[in-house]
Chain A
């Protein structure tokens, strides 16, 4: 691969080719569906005998060929999409190198060599040429970075070229191979989805399948493929988007059906009872509301995905999706399979599919800040709502908000996801960073302390504790554990057993009260919980300043990690104020553009540890 070849490639044409194959596949898929439906009556009749058997065999074969051909076409589309993305990434790296070279008076030669840009009068006079040689021997420091970026761009282009051409060569495209794939599809439906495999084994299995069979599986089992740890991000993305589209269509059909059959709100129960409310109407309303919420969640997620691939935001990959319950969404900005650094951001209490817009914005803000720090580094920023985040809707009686149960089960899922990322990574392993906000930090603490997750770095912000008493218990060197807390964020300062210190303001309200305290976004003010009521919390915090609700406060020197600079949020009460535990705006500002916390998190993600400013420092 040389620079001219890389520059001359036109990934937009590959995108168009992918779209054409995809469109043709959609058409053939529809024909295949219609064909099966319209030939079915022939075999539902009582036609029997040799001719009937022969016709049945032939038409079934045609049906199988149609399915296999559709899978082939989807595979071609996917391969061309991969090629377009890979070539665009390589060209972007080269553009970064060229910009850096131009701003430092450097030139990149046709073979990738870097030299000082030659002035126009070069070589006119012998003595000038000699001086010039001496001058050119002294390249500025940026030359090394330019050289490295060019090498990375060419290496990536080479990888893409060999990978994609190998995939194209493996596509069946012959009658016997297509038939074989059709036979494979039958097998796939029965037992080919693996169970009990490690993510690495899953990745090996997937690679061995070949593109056509992969496409067949994606279309046949999108819900399962979308969550399969170890599969490439492109495959999971395609499966999850299909699944999302199918669930959306199904929910819309259900909603239309319900709306067409709305029960009356009241029923006439005779002269004695008169009009009474109709229980079926309440149930109907609950169902309509639930489906409406799920559709709203999908709509929010679609908007988050649409931000990828434009306006300085890298391509978005949907690595996990479900609309059920509070919903699930895992969205990567930038491909984690090829990234040099991947940060997985675990959100806290109250997160759901419907709130994923705010949290994906945070993931994007983090990517943009990291990219600003190191444009040549390929970073993937992942928003991970892969667990049952405790909700605040039933705050009066819901114990989950003060329990570690959701964090423990979430930690298992997070561990699987991280192993999957490692198994699907192409080339040398990249750096991995786990970032938890609020309750998300407890999920990460559990994953590191008990599930063997070993990221390169752990970052927590606004943490109410990680379930451990020190950084040394997290399984990685404490020098790679980072914590930040806004100066006036009360969540990290909530003492252990805080519920015992609070007044009982209503039935079950001890739970409700502490629930209010660990709920971000809620004002935290519950009926009867006035400023004086939290005085015991202030007193306990003053006595044990390093303690936090789920163990120790990571953003203290006693924890043993790095306590980095976060923010002071103007207008919010401080720990010397009686209303400290009653206002929570400072709990939700860590990803604000321009904030010290965002700059420091991005520096850690980019591996620029020297640029992280410590808590209490004036700079940064």
Chain B
């Protein structure tokens, strides 16, 4: 558990929870990219089922829009994961420093 000072309020966070959330985001981003690849293939197959129909063109367009949008989201998710991981690192460093200070205070008190 890290305790840090900021804006005058006590901030407490479990760094393991932060790291876990960061890992979740990174994995999520990877899985979403895989799903995009699968659904893009499905849309292309649907378009080839009736190429001379309006459905064919609409399917290709919808698939492309979908892929573009969700790929962008996956990138955002990965970025959020990176930021959380970095935060976990900062809190972890603060936690270590804090523990060192507590230890030093303890030693002084013991004397």
Chain A partners chain B: yes
Query: Which A residues have a C-beta under 8 Å from some C-beta of B?
Result: 5, 8-14, 16-17, 20-21, 24, 27-28, 31, 35, 38-39, 41-42, 45-52, 55, 58-59, 62, 65-66, 69, 72-73, 76, 80, 83, 87, 160-162, 164-166, 168-169, 171-175, 177-178
A176 to chain B: closest residue by CB: B69
**In the complex, B104 has a CB within 8 A of chain A:** no
Find out whether the CB atom of B39 lies under 8 angstroms from the CB atom of A76.
Answer: yes
Question: Which residues of chain B (7-59) have a CB below 8 Å from chain A?
Answer: 7, 9-14, 17-18, 20-21, 24-25, 28, 31-32, 35, 38-39, 41-43, 45-46, 48-50, 52-55, 57-59
Least distance between A156 CB and chain B CB atoms (Å): 13
5 A-B pairs, CB-CB below 8 angstroms? A17-B45, A39-B20, A55-B87, A62-B25, A175-B69
Residues on the A chain within 8 Å of B72, using CB: 175
A8 to B, closest residue via Cβ: B52
A8 to B55, alpha carbons, bound, how many Å?
A: 13
On whether A48 and B45 interact (CB within 8 A), knowing A39-B21, A164-B55, the answer reads no
Taken together as a complex, chains A and B put the C-alpha atoms of A166 and B42 apart, in Å, by 19
> Could you tell me the distance in whole angstroms from the C-beta of B80 to the nearest C-beta in chain A?
5
Which of B13, B20, B48, B58 meets A52, CB within 8 Å?
A: B13
Q: Which residues of A contact B97 (CB under 8 A)?
A: none
Q: A24-B35, A38-B20, A55-B84 are in contact. Are A72 and B45 (CB under 8 A)?
A: no
Expressed in whole angstroms, the Cα–Cα distance for A28 and B72 within the complex equals 16
Q: Using Cβ atoms and an 8 Å threshold, which residues of chain B touch A16? A: 42, 45
Whether the Cβ atoms of B43 and A17 lie closer than 8 Å is yes
Q: In the complex, which residues of chain B have a beta carbon less than 8 angstroms from the beta carbon of A12?
A: 49
Q: Is B53 within 8 A of A169, CB to CB?
A: no
User: How far is A429 from B49 in the complex, measured between Cα atoms in Å?
Assistant: 31
Q: Which residues of B contact A17 (CB under 8 A)?
A: 42-43, 45-46, 49, 59
- The minimal Cβ–Cβ distance linking B76 to chain A, given in whole angstroms, is 8
Partner of A14, one of B6, B10, B49: B49
Question: Once the chains bind, are A80 and B46 in contact (CB under 8 Å)?
Answer: yes
**Smallest beta-carbon distance A325→chain B, Å:** 41
**A405: min CB distance to chain B, Å:** 50
Q: Say how far A118's CB is from chain B's closest CB, in angstroms.
A: 28
- Chain A residues with CB under 8 Å of B77's CB are 62
What is the CA–CA distance of A168 and B13 in the complex, to the nearest angstrom?
A: 45
By a CB distance below 8 angstroms, the chain B residues around A39 are 20-21, 24
Give chain A residues whose Cβ lies under 8 Å from the Cβ of B53.
Answer: 5, 9, 161, 165
Asked whether A20 and B39 contact (CB < 8 A) given A62-B25, A175-B69, the answer is yes
Report whether B9 and A49 are in contact in the complex, using a CB–CB cutoff of 8 Å.
Answer: yes
| Pairwise interchain contact B49-A10, C-beta atoms closer than 8 A | yes
> In the complex, what residue of chain A is closest to B11 when comparing beta carbons?
A49
Q: Are B7 and A49 in contact (CB under 8 A)?
A: yes
Name which residue of chain B comes closest to A47, CB basis.
B13
Name the A residues within 8 Å of B14 (CB-CB). Answer: 41-42, 45, 47
Interfacial chain B residues near A161, Cβ < 8 Å: 53-55
Beyond A49-B6, A164-B55, A168-B55, 6 extra complex contacts between A and B, CB < 8 Å: A11-B49, A42-B20, A66-B28, A76-B66, A165-B55, A175-B69
Q: A42-B21, A169-B62 are in contact. Are A50 and B49 (CB under 8 A)?
A: no
The smallest C-beta distance from A287 to any residue of chain B, in angstroms, reads 40
- Give the number of residues in B that approach A within 8 Å (Cβ atoms): 48
Judging by beta carbons under 8 Å apart, are A5 and B52 in contact? yes
Are B25 and A168 in touch, CB under 8 angstroms? no
With A31-B28, A42-B17, A174-B69 in contact, is A9–B49 under 8 Å at CB? yes
Docked complex: B58-78 residues within 8 A CB-CB of A: 58-59, 61-62, 65-66, 68-70, 72-73, 77
Q: Which residues of chain A are near B84, meaning CB under 8 Å?
A: 55
Given contact pairs A39-B21, A42-B21, A178 touches B69 in the complex (Cβ within 8 A) = yes
Task: Tell me whether A65 and B59 are in contact in the complex, defined as CB-CB below 8 angstroms, given that A9-B50, A39-B24, A171-B66 are known contacts.
Answer: no
The answer for the CA separation of A172 and B68 in the assembled complex, in Å, is 11
Q: Is the CB of A14 within 8 A of B50?
A: yes
**Cβ contact of B42, chosen from A20, A169, A177, A178, cutoff 8 A:** A20
B61 to chain A, nearest CB (A): 7
| Smallest beta-carbon distance A24→chain B, Å | 5
Contact B59 A168 (CB under 8 A): yes
Known contacts A46-B12, A169-B62; is A28 also within 8 Å of B17 by CB? no
Asked if residues B62 and A171 are in contact (CB atoms below 8 Å), the reply is yes
Nearest CB to that of B73 among chain A residues? A65
Q: How far is the CA of A48 from the CA of B69 in the complex (A)?
A: 32
- Separation of A475 and B84 alpha carbons in the complex (Å): 70
- What is the CA–CA distance of A240 and B38 in the complex, to the nearest angstrom? 28
Kindly state the separation between the CA atoms of A76 and B55 in the bound complex, as whole angstroms.
Answer: 12
Q: How far is the CA of A144 from the CA of B1 in the complex (A)?
A: 83
Q: How far is the CA of A17 from the CA of B48 in the complex (A)?
A: 11
Chain B residues with CB under 8 Å of A51's CB are 6, 11, 13, 87
Closest to B4 in A: A49
Beta-carbon nearest neighbor of B59 in chain A: A168
Residue from A8, A24, A49, A165 in contact with B39 in the complex, judged by beta carbons closer than 8 Å: A24
CB distance from A604 to the nearest CB of B (A): 37
A31 touches B39 (CB 8 A): no
Give Cα A58 to B83, complex, Å: 11
Measured between alpha carbons, how far is A48 from B14 in the docked complex, in Å?
Answer: 11
**List of B residues within 8 angstroms of A162 by Cβ:** 54
Bound together, the chains give a CA A59 to CA B46 distance in angstroms of 34
User: Within the complex, which residue of B24, B31, B61 is in contact with A169, where a contact is CB–CB below 8 Å?
Assistant: B61
Q: Are B21 and A59 in contact (CB under 8 A)?
A: yes
CB B59 to nearest CB in A, in angstroms, measures 6
